[in-house]
């Protein structure tokens, strides 16, 4: 994303109360973006839910099978990304 797009997205997230901007004490020109407390709690719930979904998805697969599947899916993603990059060129 370009700088103006990021600025726009962060501004909307800030308006919604999802994030807050804070100047860095060491360099006031640098602004850091932080989740609000409410959104940190929501993120924690999402991580818990993800762990439950992972447990269901990986059920019955041993470590070797999990590794093989992950490797195959990585290759599929790489193929799709390469195709997308070629279409944009």
Task: Determine, yes or no, domain membership for 43.
Answer: no
**How many structural domains does the chain have?**
2
Task: Determine, yes or no, domain membership for 69.
Answer: yes
Q: Whole-structure pTM over 0.85, yes or no? A: no
Q: For 2-53, what is each residue's pLDDT tens digit?
A: 888 888 999 999 999 999 999 888 888 888 999 999 899 999 999 999 999 9
Task: Determine, yes or no, domain membership for 25.
Answer: yes
User: Could you tell me the residue range of the domain that residue 13 belongs to?
Assistant: 3-35
Give the Cα separation of 2 and 22 in Å (integer): 21
The number of C-alpha atoms within 13 Å of 5 and in the hemisphere containing its C-beta is: 2
Task: Determine, yes or no, domain membership for 53.
Answer: no
Task: Determine, yes or no, domain membership for 23.
Answer: yes
In the numeric block, the tokens 């407390």 are attached to 37
Q: For 37-47, what is each residue's pLDDT tens digit?
A: 989 999 999 99
Task: Determine, yes or no, domain membership for 55.
Answer: no
Task: Determine, yes or no, domain membership for 47.
Answer: no
């Amino acid at each position: 994303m370009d700088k103006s797009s990021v600025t726009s997205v962060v501004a909307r997230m800030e308006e919604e109360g999802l994030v807050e901007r804070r100047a860095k004490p060491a360099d006031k020109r640098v602004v850091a973006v932080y989740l609000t407390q409410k959104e940190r709690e929501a993120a924690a719930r999402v991580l818990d839910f993800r762990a439950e979904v992972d447990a269901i998805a990986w059920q019955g697969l041993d470590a070797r099978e999990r590794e093989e599947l992950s490797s195959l899916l990585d290759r599929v993603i790489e193929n799709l990304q390469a195709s997308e990059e070629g279409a944009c060129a």
